[in-house]
């Protein structure tokens, strides 16, 4: 469901919702962006997911630059959705259940700031909801370690190269091999239990 617009800058706090189209935008970083598209693509009401880079200062970053580290960007997924069919709270729930919120400096087998987990809010309502969801997670204590996922204002979002978009659909065997080898599903099950 990715929208290809490589090199096209998506501005940050351009409102979370667009009254002309009735859509809204959410942005999450959860380690490898290949693995963050599928859980959101499954949701009724999600119109598109785009893998890209955000949270850094360099313009029009490439995968090579970001994966090397030092740009400040995180691999992230930007979601366009219909808020009448799926709420931001549901997106937050899907986000939390697809990351390890107790790990700083990377996710699963991918290490470095570029693979951090972070919620990038697009307006004050998203900020409040994100903070509330993090607080609720901390209070329920489903795991021993503290929740270290950050919450920050959205900044410029740079779509990743075409070959990264919908990678799990274009390269299903390689994707499954990577995901298994990275131990993502094993760790998610340890944290959250078996998926329904």
Query: Would 61 be classed as within a structural domain?
Result: yes
Q: State the total domains in the chain.
A: 1
- Picking from 111, 112, 85, 93, the residue whose alpha carbon sits closest to that of residue 23 is 85
Q: What is the pLDDT of residues 104-128, one digit of tens each?
A: 999 999 999 999 999 999 999 999 9
Query: Would 4 be classed as within a structural domain?
Result: no
Query: Would 11 be classed as within a structural domain?
Result: no
Query: Would 8 be classed as within a structural domain?
Result: no
Active-site annotation holder among 5, 32, 35, 109: 32
Structural domain containing residue 40: 17-192
- Picking from 88, 58, 95, 87, the residue whose alpha carbon sits closest to that of residue 73 is 58
Q: What is the pLDDT of residues 4-24, one digit of tens each?
A: 344 445 554 445 777 677 899
Where residue 39 sits, what CATH number does that domain have? 3.30.1060.10
The structure tokens 């075409």 sit at 162
* Cβ(75)–Cβ(33) below 8 Å: yes
pLDDT of 2 strictly over 50: no
Query: Would 42 be classed as within a structural domain?
Result: yes
Query: Would 91 be classed as within a structural domain?
Result: yes
pLDDT of 1 strictly over 70: no
Secondary structure E strands in 42-179 = 46-54, 74-81, 106-107, 110-111, 117-121, 150-153, 157-159
pLDDT for position 18: 73
pLDDT for position 5: 41
**Catalytic-residue membership of 109:** no
* Cβ(54)–Cβ(156) below 8 Å: yes
Indicate the average pLDDT of the chain: 90
Query: Would 136 be classed as within a structural domain?
Result: yes
Query: Would 171 be classed as within a structural domain?
Result: yes
């Amino acid at each position: 469901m990715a929208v290809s617009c490589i090199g096209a800058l998506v501005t940050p706090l351009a409102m979370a919702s667009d009254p002309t189209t009735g859509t809204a935008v959410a942005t999450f970083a959860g380690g490898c962006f290949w693995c963050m598209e599928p859980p959101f693509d499954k949701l009724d009401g999600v119109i598109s997911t785009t893998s890209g880079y955000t949270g850094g200062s360099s313009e029009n970053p490439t995968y090579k630059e970001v994966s090397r580290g030092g740009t400040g960007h995180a691999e992230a997924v930007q979601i366009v959705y219909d808020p009448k069919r799926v709420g931001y709270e549901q997106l937050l729930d899907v986000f939390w259940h697809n990351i390890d919120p107790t790990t700083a400096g990377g996710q699963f087998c991918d290490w470095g700031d570029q693979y951090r987990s972070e919620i990038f809010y697009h307006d004050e309502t998203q900020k409040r909801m994100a903070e509330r969801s993090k607080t609720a997670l901390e209070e329920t204590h489903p795991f021993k370690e503290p929740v270290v996922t950050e919450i920050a204002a959205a900044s410029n979002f740079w779509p990743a190269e075409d070959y990264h978009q919908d990678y799990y659909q274009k390269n299903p065997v390689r994707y499954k091999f990577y995901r298994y080898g990275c131990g993502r599903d094993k760790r998610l099950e340890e944290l959250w239990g078996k998926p329904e």
